[in-house]
Amino acid sequence: MRIVTLITDFGLRDGFVGVMKGVILGRAPQCRVVDLSHEIEPGDIRSAAFVLYNAHRWFPVGTIHVAVVDPGVGGPRSALAIRTDRAWFIGPDNGVLSWAVRDQAVRSARQITNPRMFLRPVSQTFHGRDVFAPVAAHLARGGRADQIGPEVQSWKQMPWPVPDRGAGGWRGEILYLDRFGNALTNIPTGDFQPEDGAPWAFVVPGRKRARFPVGRFYAGVGSGEPIAVPGSSGFWELAVNGGSAAQRFGLKPGDPVEVVRMGRAR
């Protein structure tokens, strides 16, 4: 049984997600459709790319991942199907797939152009239903990849923000805000591993109150207190025990962060 995952910015109010599932299951009734998220903020390609990057590794080899966060729908952007050594990734060529495939061996990438794959007529506002869902179903039922369209050698890349390590600590940025208001940074937990009791903190430059002492879990400080913890995603998180770090400190993706020794002014 092939698995097809969906990540969109559609929400669950209007039925768009259900329609995509209906198309997939109508053409490939033996597959299983799994929701990754449909609560991406409208048009937030970067957050969708991070969620896909973070989630795809937990699925079996051969999974088909469909990402539809597509503010350029109907415009000149291409549609892509990328095959790696682990999975298929389908979506618009706007960077949303680029983080998920960045550390994988790409076996082929194809521009989705074959009109015989599509639902007709193709809506210029709903390629999720008319283009991406039918292609996912085609692959889920064992269809040939070369029927999707021609191979391409490049696609739109969204640069991965690489943190800097200096003599005094780390410099990075916020990648993503989760539902709880935790701010996930781009500093890997495997790279920054403070010794027990080491006086380190994450700070947001220019905001004196945004200081997050390094700990191990959310309840490592009192209720309402900030803390930085090694998150389950493999990156350091800025959190508030029992609250929202994003709301309290006005954090957003792209904000710079630094790891400094406690007591160092910022």
Nearest-CA neighbor of 224 among 197, 238, 243? 243
**The predicted structure's pLDDT at residue 168:** 72
Measured distance CA(18)–CA(8) in Å, rounded: 12
pLDDT tens, position by position, 232-253? 999 999 999 999 999 999 999 9
Other beta carbons less than 10 A from residue 241's beta carbon = 18
pTM: 0.92
Measured distance CA(119)–CA(129) in Å, rounded: 8
Angstrom distances, CA of residue 241 to CA of 25, 90, 137: 42, 37, 43
Nearest-CA neighbor of 58 among 87, 25, 37? 87
Q: Domains, the chain, ranges and CATH?
A: 3-147 (3.40.50.10790), 164-261 (2.40.30.90)
Could you tell me the two tokens for 193? 């591993």
Cβ atoms 50, 56 nearer than 8 A: no
Cβ atoms 99, 52 nearer than 8 A: yes
Measured distance CA(183)–CA(177) in Å, rounded: 5
Residue 222 has pLDDT above 80, yes or no: yes
Reported confidence tier of residue 193, pLDDT bands at 50, 70, 90: confident
Could you tell me the two tokens for 209? 């109150």
pLDDT tens, position by position, 75-128? 999 999 999 999 999 999 999 999 999 989 999 999 999 999 999 999 999 999
Other beta carbons less than 10 A from residue 91's beta carbon = 32
